[in-house]
Amino acid sequence: MGENKKRGVMLSGIQPTGNFTLGNYIGAVGNWGKQEKEFDCFYFLADLHSLTIRQDPEALRHQSYSAFSLLISCGIDPDKSVVFAQSQVPTHAEMNWILNCYSYFGELSRMHQFKEKSKLHEENINAGLLTYPVLMAGDILLYQADYVPVGADQKQHVEFARDVAGRFNSIYGPTFKLPEPYIPEEGARLMSLQDPTKKMSKSDTNPYGYVTIVEDRDTIIKKFKRAVTDNEREVVYREGKDGINNLITIYSVITGKTHDEVAKEFEGKGYGDFKTAVGEVVADELAPVRTKYLELMSDLGELDKLLKKGAQRAYEVSLPTLLDAKHKVGLLYEVLDFCKAK
């Protein structure tokens, strides 16, 4: 971590449930390593958040190792950023309870994702599903984050964190920094390759709708060749061409070319050539990620060392904010010896 106090603090987390998709890579984790140049960065596995849905314990542990490996494989340097698992840093759970007491049922029940997930998991509408935005707020506020990289559909959660922080600050005085959402201008929302009206998602029942960032080259190209387009032949970005627009966005983000430059490059060529080209540039982009990932996953002992290093640093940074909040609300806030990080 850099010690330059003028650098802003960037924080983001991702749930360790399943492999990251190309959408995760382009819209989020692929940019996280680049942000180390400008910000002090904290990136974490939101494994506590994943418990709102019933998980297979062994699968979750494997996915946590996998997701941690992917974060590093995507370019995050654990010597420059703090990379850790949420559940290994006890300040998160403790701050969650404090902030729960400054959050209101009405505002939580109006959150978009609570409504959506309640419909998807009617048999398990648990309290965590309702209050996980409070845990998310604590994740952010513990580190006095300036910015939180989110998709447009996640902006509501940052606004909630600001509301809770402002409410707490108005009662007890300056305690938490009010974070700002950080939304990339391009590529923040990739669409399904099979249904370009829907967001690309690892929960898609059609495996040809998404690309995971550790798939082999042949599989990636095959999926792009089967991407849904339209009945025209012109590679151009315009309204009504959702499938082609999605492919142009992907090609544009990876190559750095504008939409107009992409259209000019493929002028007079058919969709088949274009889809193959998109698949090839994606495969080339992801090849070193896959190689690094396989290398890391072959040594879980080394991963445990990296996880411990990240958790210790995260605890050291987040503890002062937690102790300040505990003191202000009247709790006993001395850290007892047996609670201190070893």
Active-site residue numbers? Answer: 117, 199, 202
Would you say 261 and 287 are in contact if contact means Cβ atoms under 8 Å apart? no
| CA pair distance 212, 74, nearest whole angstrom | 12
Q: How far apart are CA 237 and CA 140, in angstroms?
A: 37
Rounded to whole angstroms, the maximal C-alpha distance in the chain is 72
CA 306 – CA 78 distance, rounded (Å)? 7
Compute, in degrees rounded to 10, the torsion defined by CA atoms 115, 121, 126, 129.
-50
Of the candidates 53, 54, 29, 55, the residue with the CA atom closest to the CA atom of residue 43: 29
Cα 274 from chain centroid?
A: 29
Report the 10 Å Cβ neighbour count for 177. 17
CA nearest to 12, candidates 27, 207, 167: 27
3-state secondary structure of 183: coil
Element (H, E) at 41: strand 39-45
End-to-end CA gap in the chain: 20
Give the number of other CB atoms < 10 A from CB of residue 272.
Answer: 11
SS3 call for 101: coil
User: Is 146:179 a contact under the CB 8 Å cutoff?
Assistant: yes
